[in-house]
Amino acid sequence: FLIDKDSEIPEDLKGENIIRTPVERIICLSTSHIAFMDVLGELDKITAVSGGEYITHPEIRKGLAEGRITDVGYGTNLNYEEIIRQKPDVVMVYGVDSEITGFLNKFSDLGIPAVLNAEFLESNPLGKAEWIRFTGALFQKELLADSLFYGIQQRYLKLKTVSGGKQNKPAVMMGLPYRDSWWVPGGDSYMAMLIADAGGMYLGRNNSSRESFVISFEEALSWASRADIWLNVGMAVRKDEILALDSRFSRFGVFNKGRLYNNNKRSTEAGGNDFWESGTIAPDRVLEDLIRIFHPGLLPSGSMYYYQEVR
């Protein structure tokens, strides 16, 4: 529930998990939460984060280095004693499957208000960005949040109109194996939608899942023979780094004759990637990058923001 600070708590709500707004102290358990806070101008309200080494925002990284912001751990290793010491007005939570219930129940037991920001469940790029409205409500900035989302939506749809009518759609494959399993986005996933909206033909589009699925190396080899573009190749910035993982990639047609791009242009040495941070609230900027990759020359001259070519 969101109520004004000076409001009386109704009798039927006493004992419930009540959030008094505007929030003054917040703990963010996902890097994407930082992006929402940033565009709302509320970074100074963040007192603690989770997985600080993966954060790319310079102001938050500076706060961690200076001790003004605390890292409370990650996943099952959350430091609940530190969270209690922080006395947050609210903890913004995310999780996967049963993790979500576990987090929320734990915070409820501790008497700490917690809210679930479920943008990570959205498969639609604009659906992810629209969670700015949810975050804005915590700070009584609903009008600002609506305005921000409207701008993002308009820019995204305009770009989609520019690229959507292209007939020559390049074939796109994605990813690299991780621990011997090659996970790729489902055909109804966030990345699949971005590729389609940018005028690309994702080779995994026939799988109707919103979740990732595993393909065999043989299937990847088949895709590689048809692909014009290979995206999101792990942490690689050079082709020789891909071959160092598995020399068989030298047999991939797309490796030899296609173009390779990675979404790690804005990343940290520790593995933080701004694509998954600010990119959550900037699907229009991600879409622009992909259009520049798929259809060079279609947009006015400019450089890519999240993506870089792997040579």
Q: What is the pLDDT of residue 167?
A: 82
Q: Which of 40, 33, 7, 31 is nearest to 21 (CA)?
A: 7
Q: What is the pLDDT of residue 15?
A: 40
Q: Which of 191, 184, 172 is nearest to 230 (CA)?
A: 172
The DSSP 8-state label assigned to residue 178 in this structure reads B
The secondary element (H helix, E strand) that includes residue 205 is none
Q: Which of 284, 269, 279 is nearest to 237 (CA)?
A: 269
Query: Number of C-alpha atoms within 13 angstroms, CB side, residue 270?
Result: 9
Report d(CA 56, CA 125) in Å as an integer. 21
Q: What is the pLDDT of residue 97?
A: 66
Is the CB of residue 283 less than 8 Å from the CB of residue 290?
A: no
Q: What is the pLDDT of residue 20?
A: 53
CB atoms inside a 10 Å sphere around CB 253: 16
Q: What is the pLDDT of residue 21?
A: 59
Q: What is the pLDDT of residue 39?
A: 98
Strand partners for 300: none
Report d(CA 222, CA 71) in Å as an integer. 44
Report d(CA 175, CA 168) in Å as an integer. 23
Crossing angle for the helix pair 142-164 and 190-197, to the nearest 10 degrees: 60
Residue 102, token pair as written in the block? 């576990």
Judged by DSSP in three states, 96 sits in: coil
Q: What is the pLDDT of residue 257?
A: 97
Q: What is the pLDDT of residue 216?
A: 95
Residue 35, token pair as written in the block? 């992006």
Kindly give the parts of the chain with pLDDT less than 70. 1-21, 96-98
